[in-house]
Copies of this chain bind each other. A is one copy, B any other.
């Protein structure tokens, strides 16, 4: 039997998905965005495992750059997390092994680990929990369980699993084979023969995964073990040792363990699921209107059918188009036949080589203390909207080439200027002369919003001397 809270969810939130560009970019990838529903995909994933009678508090594995998103978005929905930082990306094998070892530290040697991607959509939460219970039983029986999803169509975007005979006494079955993404004809055959979609989510005893990995990939286990042992805490984050972790070979968990072990089992997930690996996949989650169009945001269509239109702001209008995907953000527009969704990755590579900022960066920049966004730029001036979260403190800093005007439009600012500390309230302003040593903080309970007008001969982000920083940035 499963004991309560014996399953430790591990959320893998380090991906940098470019396939949903221009909404998902390196600087804020899709798992931290609201692409389906009001919460972010990451928040939905956390909520999916929030039944504390079955799941313990989650561990989040993510990348350095995303650590404050991971913590803040969890806090925003009232969920406590342990955030573990991968110093470098070494694929899912080392990541899951690190998670297993951290889970053992927190929940004991005998714990079960449920490893979930942070950017998948699950539409039937109850069926998902049912599958977790079944997988938990199979894991307790000594299996590394993967979730195989009941296919709803002969998709060529997913890998497949061929289930075999029953695995022990549980509802799970042995894995006969993992197979790669097929062509359409093969996919149809797979469906007929009862194959399942390979979701890439797992449930396993921590100790079993480590044991099996040790057998096939001892170098990975050794490197990861050292990275966990030498890990340090920094502002509450667990930072794996960079040097040790970098020594691990990069390998997916499929190649490192799943395809070699005899302990693999599959539990069928009957819930509707998507890895939303493309705009086409996202569109498939929603019924269209009478003309087959799925739209988000201000859109006007004339004589247009079967389109997917997503806009974060600009009005999108179409005439006489069919089966297009059009995605508009404040600074970039994507237009393609929906069927070409898989090519967005190649497009983003081209955008990067063309050195377009919008390839990787959003207009709004996220910092540990909040966000800023350029709203107007001129020859010798630059206007930003700055939001500081309650308790947020920017670094103590100065600039060599610019003066700044701050106008508070919401909340209360605590301003430090050349050793003096004073408050600036809504509808008040202050002036920071060139060279003044200053700091901005939000001592209040609601977000502080202010407009910053910079003037000067050089206005680059790199004209900043940080004298002190509560977030340990250099």
Which A residues contact B (CB, under 8 angstroms)?
Answer: 22, 298, 300, 302-303, 311, 313-321, 324, 326, 328-337, 340, 343-344, 346-347, 350-351, 354, 356, 358, 375-376, 378-381, 383, 385, 403, 405, 407, 409-410, 426-427, 429, 431, 449, 451, 453, 455
Ranked 9 nearest A-B pairs via Cβ: A381-B409, A319-B336, A320-B340, A315-B332, A375-B376, A427-B455, A375-B375, A407-B453, A318-B335
Query: Given A300-B350, A409-B453, are A336 and B314 also a contact pair (CB < 8 Å)?
Result: no
Query: Given A335-B335, A337-B320, A431-B429, are A451 and B449 also a contact pair (CB < 8 Å)?
Result: no
The contact of A356 among B315, B334, B344, by CB within 8 Å, is B315
The contact of A316 among B335, B385, B407, B426, by CB within 8 Å, is B335
- Which partner residue on chain B sits nearest A349 by CB separation? B302
What chain B residues lie within 8 Å of A303 (beta carbons)?
Answer: 343
Chain A interface helix/strand/loop/mixed: strand
Pair A427/B451 contact, Cβ less than 8 Å: no
Pair A383/B378 contact, Cβ less than 8 Å: no
Pair A383/B380 contact, Cβ less than 8 Å: no
With both chains docked as a complex, state the minimum distance between the C-beta of A387 and any C-beta of chain B, in angstroms.
Answer: 10
Pair A316/B337 contact, Cβ less than 8 Å: no
A344 to B303: give the CA distance in the assembly, Å. Answer: 12
Pair A314/B314 contact, Cβ less than 8 Å: yes
Copies of this protein in the complex: 2
- Which partner residue on chain B sits nearest A309 by CB separation? B335
What chain B residues lie within 8 Å of A321 (beta carbons)?
Answer: 324, 335-337
Pair A331/B350 contact, Cβ less than 8 Å: no
Query: Given A427-B403, A427-B455, are A332 and B356 also a contact pair (CB < 8 Å)?
Result: no
Q: Could you pull out 26 A-B pairs where Cβ atoms are within 8 angstroms?
A: A22-B317, A300-B351, A302-B347, A302-B350, A314-B328, A314-B331, A315-B351, A315-B356, A316-B335, A317-B335, A317-B347, A317-B351, A318-B334, A318-B335, A319-B344, A321-B337, A326-B333, A333-B333, A378-B410, A378-B449, A379-B410, A383-B383, A383-B451, A405-B407, A409-B453, A409-B455
Q: Which of A303, A346, A455 has the most CB of B within 10 A?
A: A455
The contact of A315 among B316, B358, B378, B407, by CB within 8 Å, is B358
Pair B298/A315 contact, Cβ less than 8 Å: no
With both chains docked as a complex, state the minimum distance between the C-beta of A309 and any C-beta of chain B, in angstroms.
Answer: 9
With both chains docked as a complex, state the minimum distance between the C-beta of A202 and any C-beta of chain B, in angstroms.
Answer: 33
With both chains docked as a complex, state the minimum distance between the C-beta of A357 and any C-beta of chain B, in angstroms.
Answer: 8
Pair A333/B343 contact, Cβ less than 8 Å: no
What chain B residues lie within 8 Å of A451 (beta carbons)?
Answer: 376, 381, 383, 451, 453
- Taking A302-B347, A314-B333 as known contacts, 7 extra A-B pairs with beta carbons closer than 8 A to each other, sorted by chain A number, are A314-B314, A319-B335, A326-B333, A375-B375, A376-B376, A405-B429, A429-B453
A350 to B304: give the CA distance in the assembly, Å. Answer: 13
A4 to B371: give the CA distance in the assembly, Å. Answer: 66
With both chains docked as a complex, state the minimum distance between the C-beta of A345 and any C-beta of chain B, in angstroms.
Answer: 10
Pair A319/B343 contact, Cβ less than 8 Å: yes
What chain B residues lie within 8 Å of A407 (beta carbons)?
Answer: 405, 407, 453, 455
A234 to B385: give the CA distance in the assembly, Å. Answer: 42
Pair B343/A314 contact, Cβ less than 8 Å: no
What chain B residues lie within 8 Å of A331 (beta carbons)?
Answer: 313-315
A453 to B453: give the CA distance in the assembly, Å. Answer: 10
